[in-house]
Amino acid sequence: MTRASAIDGASSYFDTGRFASDLGDLVSFETESQTPSKAAELSRYLKEAMVPRLRAMGFDCEIHQNPEADAGPLLVAQRLENEHRPTILSYGHGDVIRAQTDQWRDGLHPFRLVDEGDRLYGRGSADNKGQHLINMAALRAVLDARGALGFNCRILIEMGEEMGSPGLAAFCEAQKDALAADVLIASDGPRLQPDTPTMFMGARGGVSFDLVVDLRDGAHHSGNWGGLLADPAMILVQALSTITDARGQIRVPEWRPTSLTDDIRRALRDLPIEGESGPPIDEDWGEEDLTPAERVYGWNSFAILAMTSGVPDAPVNAISARARASCQLRYVVGTDQADIVPALRRHLDAHGFQAVRIVPHTRGFFDATRLPPDHPWVKFVARSLEETAGKTPHILPNLAGSLPNEVFSGILGLPTVWVPHSYRGCSQHAPNEHVLKSVSRDALRLMTGLFWDIGESAGPH
């Protein structure tokens, strides 16, 4: 058997309708992790949809309780062939975001796979059921062709990613040995462009916090007290105006990255930023000297997610007592996570804004991760994808959004290579979520070629 025949096997898995029918089965599990009444579906997905599939491929499977109470279970599956061959860890999440059932268009339903033109609609089709199904089917195509993978494989499936992966870090810390590997190869998120394979090796981090100016009890008449009482909204917006300038360029010195090195700039040079979906970008927004790709993948961005003072929909003639802005910093490798809030404190104090309190959010902390574009595993995966696709993949040092990738790169100490199988117009986290059939078929072939190559040469040397 050859590389080409393994890849043909993956194509025929798609072409004979087995991919769509397997995906339909996975989508029919109503695995909303944010809906407490669906908790039983989370373990049912692992027991009924994952374990039989993986056992049939010679994997030992164990379902573990989440170390955090009320969070979904985790599955660790492994197929160990030979201790002298490399071990690949893969990851996926079987939970989905809220279904939003009444918002899907006529003829669609979140938990019924609908086949229409080049699209397969269903909740989780893109995020993430379709993606881990593709990787498992590719492993099976290699097993069918070769009789063995040629490497050891571990697969971790969690059921709480859409809740911010509760317990994942503690679980990986406790299961370090059971999850030991040479590299993480996993799939989530979109390709930059649907017709070109994409790789990314980490994610930007994110820190969220409120800025609060709370001056007194209750609002006071603006005629009797205006000019006498300090206005919390004015103080807050003045403080915010010191964090960036008028085009959003960051002014807090410690928040300005030093990691946009020449090799990262080179990696970002030819990447397309604007796709067929989404609003046109504002060329005159953000860091002036950077290209759009450098702004979103190689730099930090500050956002004011929401802000209030008084009641905007029903204003009264009063100086309000309190103003609040909910803020976020997305940041790249090289920004010290532990110093993000203290640096802002020093900055606000230096500008005379001692009255502005910083209240960090308890959820929503991810650390930034990245792998150099010339890492041997990056080059190995890129070469394999290129051989199958006949074109150079788009390679991102890190995703602009966030992923629980620090668990794999930090706690497990792995190089991490992500190969996403969706596209930016997939309506992930919205009604009418779907995958493109053309991309899914292509992804099955790419991953089969990649797993074949790892088994053939035992990875990079």
Give the binding site for Zn ion (CB under 5 A).
127
Q: Which residue is nearest to Zn ion (CB)?
A: 127
Quote the least distance from Cβ 403 to Zn ion, whole Å: 10
Quote the least distance from Cβ 447 to Zn ion, whole Å: 20
Between 31 and 66, whose beta carbon lies closer to Zn ion? 31
Between 9 and 122, whose beta carbon lies closer to Zn ion? 122
Quote the least distance from Cβ 160 to Zn ion, whole Å: 11
Between 46 and 153, whose beta carbon lies closer to Zn ion? 46
Q: DSSP E strands: which ranges in 94-151? A: 114-116, 119-121
Omega within 30 of 0 (cis) for the link into 135 = no
| 438/134 Cα distance (integer angstroms) | 13
Quote the least distance from Cβ 398 to Zn ion, whole Å: 17
What residues contact residue 60 under an 8 Å CB cut-off, 6+ apart?
A: 77, 78, 79
What residues contact residue 73 under an 8 Å CB cut-off, 6+ apart?
A: 42, 43, 46, 63, 64, 65, 66, 159
Quote the least distance from Cβ 97 to Zn ion, whole Å: 5
Quote the least distance from Cβ 308 to Zn ion, whole Å: 28
Between 134 and 382, whose beta carbon lies closer to Zn ion? 134
Between 123 and 370, whose beta carbon lies closer to Zn ion? 123
What residues contact residue 8 under an 8 Å CB cut-off, 6+ apart?
A: none
For every residue of 407-451, DSSP letters joined together read IIIIIS---EEE---EETTS-TTSTT-EEEHHHHHHHHHHHHHHH
Are residues 90 and 156 in contact, defined by beta-carbon separation less than 8 angstroms?
yes
The residue among 143, 200, 142, 157 whose CA lies nearest residue 445 is: 142
Between 416 and 427, whose beta carbon lies closer to Zn ion? 427
Between 188 and 442, whose beta carbon lies closer to Zn ion? 188
**Cβ count near 241 (within 10 Å):** 12
Quote the least distance from Cβ 340 to Zn ion, whole Å: 24
- Strand-pair partners of 417: 185
